Structure 1
Amino acid sequence: MDTAELIVTTVGLSLAVLVIWYFFVAPHQVVSAVSSSTGVQQIDVTVKGGYSPDVIEVEQGKPVQLHFYRDEDASCSEEIVFPEFNIRRELPAFQTTLIELLPQQAGRFSFTCGMGMLRGSLVVK
């Protein structure tokens, strides 16, 4: 192996390790939803190159309102998908979109952008 091949291989492996760390090991911001006086659990989520927070904890059997504010116009974040809840919504740029759902069973449910690149989780306890 010559020097150029060695450099390309080393950079490629380093990038692969970085991607694995980012998606599977990196710490995620976990936030518990706040219940209003009516018992509805509410949380504000900012969409800008990802979801913040990207892990949302809620209680089972109580209605949930997620307020997604899309603070960008990147094409990847135009849509949000909750596959287990059969929810797919457009997220207009620089606007807040309300997603309402009622989690009936405990578990971890993913949500993604329409392309599947941005990821988050709804943890129902």
Structure 2
Amino acid sequence: MTALINLAGLLLIALIISWFWLSQAGGRQRKQDATVSEASVIVKNGVYDPPTLHARAGQTLTLHFDRQDPSPCAEQVIFHGLGVSEFLDSGKVTTVTLQNPPKGEYRFTCQMQMYQGRLIVD
């Protein structure tokens, strides 16, 4: 009887790990793999979602930032190395257009660099 209880406990632990950690990591990886010309980014709970975006060099990239976080830190997004920054209105979607970004990897952050994101241009 004790062996069955221990086995059931181990199965429950494995289910919890796969549900909460492994399934989220897989979903994020699928989001990150797509190369896009247009994407939506949710600003909420101190993060950008998705945290990594892929784009093609020489193509215009349109990003729609949906600011759901009322924190003052979330009010601006800055693309380091591209010279682009935009203020984000709380509760609204703000469109940021990057005209033909060159190949490279660029960080995008809030003004205090607490929110972190990455743009990879191939």
In the superposition, the TM-score normalised over structure 1's length comes to 0.68
1:32 matched to 2:28? The reply is no
Calculate percent identity across the aligned residue pairs: 29
Q: Which residue of 1 aligns with 2:59?
A: 62
* Equivalent AA in structure 1 for residue 58 of structure 2: G
Q: Which residue of 2 aligns with 1:75?
A: 72
For structure 2, the residue ranges without an aligned partner over 5 or more in a row are 1-24
Q: 1:33 to 1:92 in 2, by over 3 A?
A: farther
CA RMSD between the two structures: 1.7
Q: Which residue of 2 aligns with 1:6?
A: none
Q: What's the offset of the Cα at 1:84? A: 1.2
Q: What's the offset of the Cα at 1:70? A: 0.3
Which structure's residues are more often helix, by fraction? 2
Q: Report the Cα distance in structure 2 between the residues aligned to 1:104 and 1:65, rounded to whole angstroms.
A: 11
In the superposition, the TM-score normalised over structure 2's length comes to 0.70
Match of 1:77, SS? helix
The correspondence of residues 94-109 of structure 1 with structure 2, limited to 5 A, is 94-109=91-106
Q: What's the offset of the Cα at 1:101? A: 0.8
For structure 1, the residue ranges without an aligned partner over 5 or more in a row are 1-26, 35-40
1:88 matched to 2:85? The reply is yes
Q: Report the Cα distance in structure 2 between the residues aligned to 1:31 and 1:66, rounded to whole angstroms.
A: 16
How many correspondences in the alignment?
93
Q: What's the offset of the Cα at 1:102? A: 2.4
Match of 2:54, SS? strand
CA deviation digits over 1:6-48, x for unaligned, max 9?
xxxxxxxxxxxxxxxxxxxxx69325244xxxxxx10000000
Q: Report the Cα distance in structure 1 between the residues aligned to 2:95 and 2:101, rounded to whole angstroms.
A: 19
Q: Which residue of 2 aligns with 1:42?
A: 38
* Equivalent AA in structure 2 for residue 47 of structure 1: V
Residue pair 2:76, 2:110 contacting (<8 A) in 1 also: yes
CA deviation digits over 1:28-74, x for unaligned, max 9?
9325244xxxxxx1000000021000100001111000000001201
